[in-house]
Amino acid sequence: MRALRIGLSACFFHADPLRPIFKGKTLLYLEQSLARWVMAQGALCYLVPDPGTEPGLSVDLEALAGPLDGLVLQGGSDVSPLSYGEAPLKAEWSGDAIRDAYEIALVRAFRVQGKPILGICRGAQLLNVAFGGTLYQDLATQHPGPTVHRDWAVYDRNFHGLRLDGRLAALAGVSETRVNSVHHQAVRELGAGLAVEARSHDGLVEAFRAVDGPQLFAVQWHPEFQDPGDASLLDGTVFLKDFLKASLTGLQRV
């Protein structure tokens, strides 16, 4: 049996005439530690490009999804408030509506083909929006509280407590744990057909799962950034392995 082929959604550097390399060109990229986190379990990773909509193009997202066994949505830029029917409260929270549209279409392609999806940080926010949910555009402004969800100075070394429920609690074998926290946006109204499986102590949704259909699970933190030797933190491989196990269903069709 061949190795699992896992697609990773692309982050976007949009065309910038002032950039010193690839002047005026759009760049698609992935974050290295996420790919290595997935590949450490023996899977192969493939960046899924945005095929665009140019006339005569014979490749679309469903065709790109076809040879792949599962999808991971990586972190990055803010989800645009326009993607869930709101205006940005500040210009710097405008997000990336172009990337949103690409990833929502990518999610639909994998769902139609019955393949599992795992969302990480922005990926969780994007999935919530894809299922009709909304987001806090900025937690410090719209959901102030004692829990610090983003501290730029320490970045992925900022941690907070977590309460687990459902399948995630069963996989982890605990109901209380800690994770890192690198986000200033978060789930506000949960999308249709999603069930919460983790919350921070201030009540924010930190993980959820689709109730029906192929496996779809998402977390608000970055498990790929955490020190695997730190026993005080939730070991993200418990749900990564669960996602890869679900991806075997597609592989076994080959």
List, by residue number, the catalytic residues: 121, 222, 224
- Alpha carbons 175 and 155: distance in angstroms, whole number: 25
- Alpha carbons 96 and 214: distance in angstroms, whole number: 27
| Dihedral angle, C-alpha 116, 31, 99, 113, nearest 10 ° | -20
Please, which residues have CB within 8 angstroms of residue 58's CB and are 6 or more apart in sequence? Answer: none
68-85: burial string, b at 16+ Cβ within 10 Å, e else: bbbbbbbbbebbbbebbe
State the DSSP code for 231: T
Strands in 205-210's sheet, in edge-to-edge order, are 44-48, 5-9, 70-73, 117-120, 216-219, 205-210, 194-200, 159-164, 176-180
What three-state secondary structure class fits 12? strand
Q: Two tokens at 70? A: 């599962």
* Residues present in the chain in total: 254
Q: Two tokens at 26? A: 């759009």
- Alpha carbons 71 and 225: distance in angstroms, whole number: 19
What three-state secondary structure class fits 70? strand
